[in-house]
Amino acid sequence: MATPETVTATPGSLEGIKDSYEYGFHDSEKDYIFKAKKGLNRRVVEEISDHKNEPAWMREFRLKALEHFESRPMPKWAGGHMDQIDFQNIHYFVRASEKQGRTWDEVPDDIKNTFDKLGIPEAERKYLAGVGAQYESEVVYHQVREDLEKQGVIFMDMDTALREHEDLVREYWATVIPPNDNKLAALNSAVWSGGSFVYVPPGVHVEMPLQAYFRINTENMGQFERTLIIADEGSFVHYIEGCTAPTYTTDSLHSAVVEIVCKPGSRTRYTTIQNWSHNVYNLVTKRAVAHEGATMEWIDGNLGSKLTMKYPSIYLMGPEAHGEILSIAFAGKGQHQDAGGKCVHVAPHTTSTITSKSISKDGGRASYRGLLEVAPGAVKARSKVVCDALLLDEHSRSDTYPTIRIGEDDVDIGHEATVSKIGEEQLFYLRSRGLSEEEASGMIVGGFIEPFTRELPMEYAVEMNRLIELQMEGSIG
Partner 1 sequence: MTETTTTVEIGAAAEFPAGAARIVEVDGRKIGVFNCDGDFLAIEDRCSHDDGPLAEGPFDPDTCTVECPRHGSLFDLRTGRPRTLPAYMPVDTFDVRIEDGTVKLEVS
Q: Binding residues for partner 1, per CB under 8 A?
A: 68, 174-182, 287, 289, 315, 317, 344, 346, 375-376
Backbone phi and psi for residue 214, each to the nearest 5 degrees, phi listed first: -115, 125
Distance, CA of 150 to CA of 390 (rounded, Å): 47
Nearer to partner 1 among residue 203 and residue 377 (C-beta): 377
Distance, CA of 175 to CA of 317 (rounded, Å): 14
Distance, CA of 65 to CA of 60 (rounded, Å): 8
Q: Which amino acid is located at 141 in the chain?
A: Y
Q: Which helix (H) or strand (E) holds 425?
A: helix 424-432
Nearer to partner 1 among residue 238 and residue 310 (C-beta): 310
> What is the tally of helices (H) and strands (E) in the chain?
12, 24
Nearer to partner 1 among residue 258 and residue 391 (C-beta): 258
Q: How far is the CB of 180 from partner 1 (least distance, A)?
A: 4
Q: How far is the CB of 266 from partner 1 (least distance, A)?
A: 18
Nearer to partner 1 among residue 64 and residue 117 (C-beta): 64
Nearer to partner 1 among residue 176 and residue 467 (C-beta): 176
Q: Are 195 and 227 in contact (CB under 8 A)?
A: yes
User: What ranges make up the beta strands (E) of 232-294?
Assistant: 236-244, 252-254, 257-262, 267-274, 280-290
Nearer to partner 1 among residue 94 and residue 289 (C-beta): 289
Q: Which amino acid is located at 278 in the chain?
A: H
Nearer to partner 1 among residue 316 and residue 389 (C-beta): 316
The CB density around residue 8, as the number of other CB atoms within 10 Å, is: 10
Nearest to 63 by CA among 43, 92, 34: 43
Nearer to partner 1 among residue 56 and residue 105 (C-beta): 56
DSSP H helices in 153-232: 158-164, 166-172, 183-191
Q: How far is the CB of 186 from partner 1 (least distance, A)?
A: 9
CA atoms within 13 A on the CB side of 81: 20
Q: How far is the CB of 70 from partner 1 (least distance, A)?
A: 15
Q: How far is the CB of 288 from partner 1 (least distance, A)?
A: 10
DSSP H helices in 182-246: 183-191
Work out the end-to-end distance of the chain between its first and last CA atoms, rounded to an integer number of angstroms: 30
Beta partners for residue 209, in sequence order: none
Q: How far is the CB of 126 from partner 1 (least distance, A)?
A: 38
Strand, helix or coil for residue 95: strand
Q: How far is the CB of 405 from partner 1 (least distance, A)?
A: 11
C-alpha pair distances (Å), 203 with each of 28, 200, 396: 45, 8, 48
Q: How far is the CB of 294 from partner 1 (least distance, A)?
A: 15
Strand, helix or coil for residue 395: coil
Distance, CA of 336 to CA of 451 (rounded, Å): 22
Distance, CA of 391 to CA of 441 (rounded, Å): 12
Q: How far is the CB of 174 from partner 1 (least distance, A)?
A: 7
CA atoms within 13 A on the CB side of 420: 12
Q: How far is the CB of 176 from partner 1 (least distance, A)?
A: 6
Q: How far is the CB of 346 from partner 1 (least distance, A)?
A: 5
Distance, CA of 321 to CA of 291 (rounded, Å): 6
Nearer to partner 1 among residue 54 and residue 259 (C-beta): 259
Nearer to partner 1 among residue 315 and residue 460 (C-beta): 315
Nearer to partner 1 among residue 278 and residue 287 (C-beta): 287
Beta partners for residue 385, in sequence order: 354, 415
Nearer to partner 1 among residue 119 and residue 340 (C-beta): 340
Q: How far is the CB of 181 from partner 1 (least distance, A)?
A: 5
Q: Are 172 and 211 in contact (CB under 8 A)?
A: no
